[in-house]
Amino acid sequence: GAVPVTGLAAEAGLTIDNGIAVDAELRTSDPDIFAAGDCCSFPLAVYGGRRVRLEAWRNAQEHGALAARNMLGAGESHAAVPWFWSDQYGLTLQVSGLPDQGSKVVRRDLDDGAFILFHLAEDGRLVAASGIGPGNSVGRDIRLAEMLIAKRAKPAPEALGSQTIKLKSLLAA
């Protein structure tokens, strides 16, 4: 997955752009051919159509199902927010969204030394959240941040950093 295998696609005349280039429905430059997973780059609507290639199991799983539905005529666009996790020396790292899209970072400390960094764009929109802690200590909050990112929410930085304000309450705002 780290290096996309695109030889066959290139030989078939498909457009290559950091992987096999697909549209939001995972259709290649040949409308009868779809590509999914680590081998393809695709536009992310939540980031203004920025083209990305994601090397994560959840993306591959979601792409496979979406490509199958679209081959059957569903006409659905990719709408998922990127997410991945990794275990590192007894800690679990989880990231939702694209942190490089943020220009400001707000930290929220959790129990057991865990913390989350919320990445905000210039306009205040939450574009990513990255957290690390023992076990699944950041999992719930990262999932809530993922939902806020999908909603293109602009939560107050003070609320994101506060340990007393529940992230779930920001979804209703």
Cα distances (Å, whole numbers) of residue 54 to 43, 51, 76, 170: 11, 10, 19, 28
Q: What is the pLDDT of residues 94-132, one digit of tens each?
A: 999 999 999 999 999 998 999 999 999 999 999 999 999
- What average pLDDT score do residues 51-75 get? 96
Instruction: State the average pLDDT over residues 137-153.
Output: 97
The mean pLDDT value for 120-147 works out to: 97
Mean pLDDT for the stretch of residues 119-146: 97
pLDDT above 70 (res 54): yes
Using the predicted structure, report yes or no on whether residue 64 has a pLDDT greater than 70.
yes
Domains of the chain: 7-71 (3.50.50.60), 83-172 (3.30.390.30)
Q: Give per-residue burial for 99-135: e unless 16+ CB within 10 Å, then b.
A: bebbeeebebebeeebbbbbbbbeeebbbbbbbbbee
Sign of CA dihedral 17, 19, 22, 28: positive
Q: Residue for token digits 């920001």?
A: 170
Neighbouring C-beta atoms of residue 170, cutoff 10 Å: 20
Is the model's pLDDT at 1 over the cut of 80?
Answer: no
Q: How many helices (H) and strands (E) does the chain have?
A: 5, 8
Give, as one character, the DSSP assignment of residue 17.
S
Give per-residue pLDDT as tens, 18-44.
999 999 999 999 999 999 999 999 999
Local confidence band at 172 (pLDDT 50, 70, 90 cut-offs): confident
Q: Is the dihedral of CA 141, 143, 146, 147 positive or negative?
A: negative
Q: How confident is the model at residue 2 (pLDDT cuts 50, 70, 90)?
A: confident
Contact 80, 98 (CB under 8 A): no
